[in-house]
Amino acid sequence: MTHGGGGHDGADMTTNVILFALLQLGVSGYAAWRGGKPERFVAIAMFAAAFATMIAYAPLSRRFAGAEFGVLAVDVLLFAGLTVIALNANRYWPMAVASLQLASLIVHLGKLLDLTMGGWAYALLLKLWAYPMLLTLLVATMRHRRRLVRYGVDRPWTSFDAR
């Protein structure tokens, strides 16, 4: 999950990183505190990926000039984790989050296929998907809370047990 920072302008980058970090912390914290197991697992995965992404970026002087292989590795791992959750959760929304993460992998593929893709465009397209992913997690956690109030239970995982 490529976070909201990492642009070329230092002041703008710092503001974006701080705003995204606060948003990530708030949404992930809420999901970890009030969500069911799928919401919690996705919150942990997205938070860890955002942190790992900050570490994985190339040095600022080379950032987004070529493919960001460290970020690509983080994004592949996040996609794999989200896919496992989506295949097992008793919810539809994890499929949407995994699909949004897949879009960021397609952006990496685009950069690998066309190294002339501008750094600004590459950075923007990578960052774009993190925000709807967070919004989806937030809404999913709110809906989980509503189902708990309404029905008293919200089964977290799909069960193929015929009993």
- Span 130-142, mean pLDDT? 98
97-128 pLDDT, tens digit each: 999 999 999 999 999 999 999 999 999 999 99
Which residues 6+ apart lie within 8 Å of 135 measured at CB?
none
Q: How confident is the model at residue 13 (pLDDT cuts 50, 70, 90)?
A: low
Alpha-carbon distance of 39 to 19, in angstroms, equals: 22
- Span 57-61, mean pLDDT? 90
**10 CB neighbour count, 10 Å cutoff:** 9
**What does the pLDDT read at residue 163?**
46
Which residues 6+ apart lie within 8 Å of 125 measured at CB?
104, 107, 110
